[in-house]
Structure 1
Amino acid sequence: MKQTIANVTLVVRDYDEAIAFYTGALGFNLLDDIDLGDGKRWVRVAPRGAVETALLLAQAGDDAQRTRIGDQTGGRVGFFLHTDDFHRDRAAMRAHGVRFLEEPRLEAYGIVAVFEDLYGNRWDLLELKQ
Structure 2
Amino acid sequence: MLKRLAHVTLYVHDCEEALRFYTEKLGFEKRMDSRMDDGSRWLTVGLPGQEIEIVLHDPTHWHREEVAQEMLLQVGKNPMWVWETDDFGSTYEILRQRGVKFVSEPNEVMYGIEVIFEDLYGNRFLLLQPVFL
Distance 2:70 2:116 in 1: 27
CA contact (8 A) 2:78 2:124 kept: no
Secondary structure of 2:36 counterpart: strand
Number of the residue aligned with 1:8: 8
Number of the residue aligned with 1:72: 78
State yes or no: 1:20 paired with 2:26: no
Secondary structure of 1:37 counterpart: coil
More strand by share: 1
| Divergent runs of 4+, >6 A | none
Q: Percent identity?
A: 38
Aligned length in residues? 125
Alignment TM-score, normalising by the size of structure 1: 0.89
**Larger of the two Rg values belongs to structure:** 2
Cα RMSD over matched residues?
Answer: 1.4
Question: Matches of residues 1-130 of structure 1 in structure 2 within 5 Å?
Answer: 3-51=3-51, 53-61=52-60, 62-73=68-79, 78-130=80-132
* Displacement after TM superposition at 1:37 (Å): 2.8
Alignment TM-score, normalising by the size of structure 2: 0.87
More helix by share: 2
Distance 1:11 1:2 in 2: 24
* Displacement after TM superposition at 1:60 (Å): 2.8
